[in-house]
Amino acid sequence: MANLYQLTNDYKTVLNMLYDEDVDEQMILDTLEGIEGEIEYKADNYARIIKELLGDAEKIKKEKLRLEERQKAFENRAKLLKDNLQNTMIQLEKKKFKTELFSFSIQKNGGKQTLAIDGEVPEEYTKTIIENDTDKIRQALEDGKELPFAHLESRGESLRIR
């Protein structure tokens, strides 16, 4: 059984045979029939492997989501325990202590100080973000308008297996 590369070369050979007037038509048809059967067999096997790989990918995706939910649950539980311990330390006015295993302290957070906006902000303290209206550009091009700054790319091709 030939691989797809060899089958492609076989098709090119048949194409060359079609242009050669000295080659018998029945020989071309027999060669073509043999190649077609092999490609169909290979295509079926490819499709089976592709479907299996996509199925495995979907299983992994679902497992990843399940594990992410579990991770989030553990993080939430850890935060709950940490908040509870911090509240207890604040109530007991115990900001710092050590045990045999750990050191505990309540400190101010670093980084930028939290900002709260209490009213309407004057224009001098705002940003204007300019964003391309891609829907409008696409519609203009589809309507036949020529735009020097944009163009529509050709659609690609893909193999569909049903």
Q: Which residues contact 35 (CB under 8 A, 6 or more apart)?
A: 7, 10, 11, 14
What pLDDT does residue 34 have?
72
Q: What average pLDDT does range 85-102 have in this prediction?
A: 94
Q: What average pLDDT does range 77-85 have in this prediction?
A: 96
Cα separation values, 4 from 9, 30, 39, 91, Å: 9, 19, 7, 74
What pLDDT does residue 23 have?
77
pLDDT digits (tens, 9 = 90+) for 3-36: 767 767 777 777 777 777 787 888 777 777 777 6
Pairing of strands 103-105, 96-98: antiparallel
Q: What average pLDDT does range 93-103 have in this prediction?
A: 94
pLDDT digits (tens, 9 = 90+) for 118-135: 999 998 899 989 999 999
pTM listed for this prediction = 0.56
| Cβ–Cβ under 8 Å, residues 14 and 32 | yes
| Cβ–Cβ under 8 Å, residues 35 and 11 | yes
**57 has a pLDDT exceeding 80:** yes
Question: pLDDT higher for 74 or 7?
Answer: 74
